[in-house]
Amino acid sequence: MTVATTKTARPLVALAAAATASLALSACATEGPVVLSADQLTEALLTAGDIPVDGGAVIDVTSEEAAAITAEHMSLTDAELDGADEACRAAFDEVYPADGLTANTATGTYEAEDESTMTVTLSSFHERPEVDLGERYQRIGQACDGQTLLGDTGVGAVFYGLASDDAHGFIMRSAGAAGGAGESGPFETTVLVEQRDNHLIEVVGQDMSEEQAVDVLHTQADKLARAIEQA
């Protein structure tokens, strides 16, 4: 048997170390996504001091473990889609996959000094979605742009795409042409999302500007990113 000399042993040790490192990297590459619990997501929600709007206050916080998010989460009834063309209808039906997704979630409801309100929902999917949910939400604004949908109350809403390129989503504004603004008066709702790997941030702002909603989205996305790093 030939025994390796010191001169030949060193390269062998280096090769062994490199092989070990390679195996470790391969193992990391095949690990599943970081899944935050509902409690961790709740901790990652914006607080009153975090919200980038004047006089922001937390009204309510809810959370759920292993929530089933199916295609019905965004799909609308025929009555609600009255006035929409086929492309717009398909955009709503195709946001989430037919077999659904499982996610831990946390939702915060907030009110600003000017009485505008918003909800922020954080979702941590148990598996990486095979679709880009941001693009799916964006498609609603693009496919339904300028179309009036009646909604389940019969109050019309006109859908628009976003003016900003810094987020994905759409805007709904009350439409007098489809039954008026209703007893609650005119409204404007901005829906924004940002997907980061297996996590989704959704901001729904009521009577707040698109710019304000985008600021909230980015602030929340940064705080969630820190929570993921610490998990």
CB atoms within 10 A of CB 107: 19
Q: Mean of the per-residue pLDDT values for the chain?
A: 84
Pick the CATH number of 33-230 from 3.30.1360.200, 3.40.1000.70, 3.20.20.70, 3.20.20.120: 3.40.1000.70
pTM (2 decimals)? Answer: 0.81
Distances (CA, A) of 218 to 39, 49, 203, 208: 21, 15, 10, 15
Half-sphere exposure (Cβ direction) of 17: Cα atoms closer than 13 Å:
6
The predicted pLDDT at position 136 comes to 96
- Neighbour-count burial for 62-91, b at 16+ CB within 10 Å, e otherwise: ebeeebebebeebebeeebbebbeeebbeb
The structure tokens listed for 26 are 């391969």
- The angle at the Cα of 192, spanning 218 to 71, to the nearest 5 degrees, equals 130
- Statement: residue 3 has pLDDT above 50: no
Tens of pLDDT, residues 17-45 = 443 444 343 444 447 899 999 999 999 99
The predicted pLDDT at position 153 comes to 60
Tens of pLDDT, residues 83-136 = 899 999 999 999 998 889 999 999 999 999 998 999 999 999 999 999 999 999
For the chain, where are the alpha helices, taking DSSP H only? Answer: 6-30, 38-44, 86-93, 133-143, 210-230
Tens of pLDDT, residues 176-200 = 544 444 445 678 999 999 999 999 9
